[in-house]
Structure 1
Amino acid sequence: MSATRASEVLAKLERLGKKAVRDAYAPRYGIVAKQALGVSMAVLQKVAKGLGTDHALALSLWTTGCFEARMLATLIDDPAQVTAAQMERWCKDFDNWAICDTACFKLFDRTPHAFGKVVAWSKRKPEFEKRAAYALLASLALHDKHSSDDAFLRHLPRIAAAADDARNFVKKGVSWALRSIGTRSAALHAAARALAKRLASSEDPAPRWVGKDVLRDLSRPLVTKRIAAKAKRRE
């Protein structure tokens, strides 16, 4: 049944696809997708809302290999039914930042396997598998309302080590993770800034870029005001 429904959904996506959207993926957004139809994220979200949560359909859509079908799969899957093995399979299929980040930001961070995958994927060599570790860590920092500061502090050495990776999508993922951690609390803000300062002083271009990018973001008045407000609420 799910395979039949997946075929119907894929046909719908094909009808919704636009050449102008597809042609803009690489030059405008840096998205290189092998099987792309040209369906915008806004349209995919509307389709997802109409479908509702459907784990079986998500699995079937992923197997099509279609970029938009996979994006849709991350939007409709049920995190309670997502297994560690499924996360592993999907991670190995990541071939651009958009599917990597969407899976982490919309689905994987809500599973009980999330922190474990941060550790596992941080050791990977393929660019988007390694990025997934830090996209997932960033997503957890932004969405997880229950974990302690220590749950994130323990990942700072991992971030420091990965900052040496000069590959574009890895270093941007590392920056995203550290910036996100730095917005959770005053203590994490201080720790993130301290690490960022150390990275920014590096003679190596990659960690220097990460450090400066993080410092620029965490020094913004909007961020510092939010951190101060959070600290006041905890008093």
Structure 2
Amino acid sequence: MTFEEIFAQLRALGSEQTRAIYLRHGFGTNTFGVSYAHLGQLKKQLVGRGKDKAHAHHVAQQLWQSGNFDARTLATMVADAQQLTPAEAEAWAADVRNHSLADALAGLVAGTGFAWAQAEAWMQAPDEYRQRLGYALLSRLAQQDATAPDAVFEPYIVRIEQQLQQAPNRAKEGMNGALLALGGRSEALRRRVEEAADRIGPVSIDHGDTACQTPAIRPYLAKMWARKTVKA
């Protein structure tokens, strides 16, 4: 399918109800309000077994360039991580102005060979959404990189403890999410994260005109590990 065909479908699949939700969450006015279920259906039309990855990545580039929130979210779902370059990832990051798109782009970059270096660069960036990207990417790596030892993640717990309360709002949320991801990786990291969370204290995040709440570290990890025990 071509970019024009996909974009026309995005326009047709949008709803005012979903658009209103996206507006409340701060995703910007350039959105059709396409549900994630519909985005998943469109993804299947572009990627999967037997699909042309080069074509899908080209369409993803066009979707991103459109500036539309729904199109950019879909772009992160269909782009090929192996074709994404550091320069392209950085160019896309420069366009990110909301936390949902930051998390979606982090999910794409997590599959690249430069994910660790990119996470470090974004975590040290001065602006809110690159920081959010960095910590969202760290969360993905904590969940997906089975080869990394706990020692690799420990310095990030120290950094987050030192910086979280002074961080910009959505970067702070990303840091809190990273602690949860790290605390779910191993029992040893869980103890380190919980000790750090006790010293950090309550975390206040402005979620705007939504019902979203900030998860507290210890109760969240207790539930997470209880589910792990049941599954085991």
* TM-score range relative to shorter protein: 0.7 to 0.9
Residue 219 (str. 1) matches residue 228 (str. 2): no
Equivalent residue number for residue 188 of structure 1? 189
Aligned pairs for 1:109-148 (under 5 A) are 109-148=110-149
Q: Cα distance 1:165–1:228, how it changes in 2: closer, same or farther (>3 A)?
A: farther
Q: Cα distance 1:123–1:227, how it changes in 2: closer, same or farther (>3 A)?
A: farther
Unaligned runs of 5+ in 1: 231-235
Unaligned runs of 5+ in 2: 48-52, 206-213
Contact preservation (8 Å) 1:122, 1:158: no
Equivalent residue number for residue 50 of structure 2? none
CA distance in 1, matches of 2:227, 2:16: 43
Residue 42 (str. 1) matches residue 43 (str. 2): no
Q: CA deviation at 1:229?
A: 8.6
Q: Secondary structure, in 3 states, of the residue corresponding to 1:34?
A: coil
Q: Secondary structure, in 3 states, of the residue corresponding to 2:27?
A: coil
Equivalent residue number for residue 33 of structure 1? 28
Measured on the aligned residues, the alpha-carbon RMSD in Å equals: 2.4
Cα deviation digits, residues 63-112 of structure 1 (max 9, x gap): 1111111111100011111111111111111111111111212x111111
Equivalent residue number for residue 176 of structure 2? 175
Q: Cα distance 1:91–1:161, how it changes in 2: closer, same or farther (>3 A)?
A: farther
Instruction: Count matched residues.
Output: 217
CA distance in 1, matches of 2:113, 2:163: 24
User: Normalised by the size of structure 2, how large is the TM-score?
Assistant: 0.84
Contact preservation (8 Å) 1:163, 1:206: no
Equivalent residue number for residue 17 of structure 2? 20
Identical counterparts, % of pairs:
30
Contact preservation (8 Å) 1:165, 1:206: no
Contact preservation (8 Å) 1:184, 1:227: no
- Match for 2:104 among 97, 102, 105? 102
Amino acid at match of 1:31: G
Q: Secondary structure, in 3 states, of the residue corresponding to 1:184?
A: coil
Equivalent residue number for residue 233 of structure 1? none
CA distance in 2, matches of 1:21, 1:177: 28
Q: Cα distance 1:148–1:14, how it changes in 2: closer, same or farther (>3 A)?
A: same
Contact preservation (8 Å) 2:19, 2:31: yes
